[in-house]
């Protein structure tokens, strides 16, 4: 049993779908839990096509939970309203209107938000929020505060996802 577990762990990255099928069949829940992040990194269609039939529905539910977090993350309303510069003048407390606005210190808010949104391209990106949110470099307290709230909201939602083995 121990040797089988060690071998499955060793080959997990290269043969994740096959190992998950075997692990579920034989009750290796720890292997299934270790495999879940690797499966999330793969295209859903490829994963579903290669998983045993009895695991497809539970996997779809688990993947769906991560996908809901991704959709929520990509539509997070940034608050508070950020003071911006327009036509060389300072206009206080004006919401970002979708134009290429700059915060009063010169930060390009839209570029930073777009960089984060582009990095949040699939459910796998949710597993590495440190990288997603280090794409921004700003010294603005308002912008930093809003981005931190955004990241914290995502982390909270991720924390609410049930472990993969509970779907089986």
Is 79 part of any domain? no
Domain final position from 48, 74, 100:
74
Concatenate the DSSP letters of all residues of 156-168 into one string: HHHHTSPPGGGG-
Domain final position from 74, 104, 119:
74
Q: What local confidence, expressed as pLDDT, does residue 79 receive?
A: 54
Q: What local confidence, expressed as pLDDT, does residue 138 receive?
A: 64
Is 35 part of any domain? yes
Structural element, H or E, at residue 102: strand 102-103
Q: What local confidence, expressed as pLDDT, does residue 7 receive?
A: 86
Q: What local confidence, expressed as pLDDT, does residue 151 receive?
A: 92
Could you state, in chain order, the average pLDDT of each consecutive group of 10 residues for the chain (168 residues)?
84 88 87 90 89 90 96 79 45 45 56 86 93 74 82 96 91
- Written as six digits, the tokens of 164 are 């993969």
Q: Assess whether 88 and 153 both reside in one domain.
A: yes
């Amino acid at each position: 049993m121990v040797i089988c577990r060690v071998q499955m762990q060793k080959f997990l990255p290269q043969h994740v779908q096959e190992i998950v099928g075997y692990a579920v069949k034989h009750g290796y829940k720890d292997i299934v839990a270790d495999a879940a992040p690797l499966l999330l990194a793969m295209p859903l269609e490829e994963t579903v096509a290669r998983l045993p039939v009895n695991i497809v529905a539970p996997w779809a539910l688990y993947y769906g939970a991560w996908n809901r977090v991704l959709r929520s993350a990509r539509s997070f309303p940034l608050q508070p309203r950020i003071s911006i510069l327009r036509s060389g003048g300072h206009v206080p407390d004006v919401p970002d209107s979708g134009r290429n606005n700059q915060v009063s210190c010169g930060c390009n808010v839209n570029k930073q938000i777009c960089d984060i949104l582009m990095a949040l391209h699939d459910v796998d990106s949710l597993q590495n929020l440190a990288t997603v949110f280090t794409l921004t470099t700003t010294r603005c307290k308002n912008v930093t505060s809003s981005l931190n709230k955004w990241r914290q909201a995502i982390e909270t939602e991720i924390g609410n996802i049930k472990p993969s083995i509970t779907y089986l």
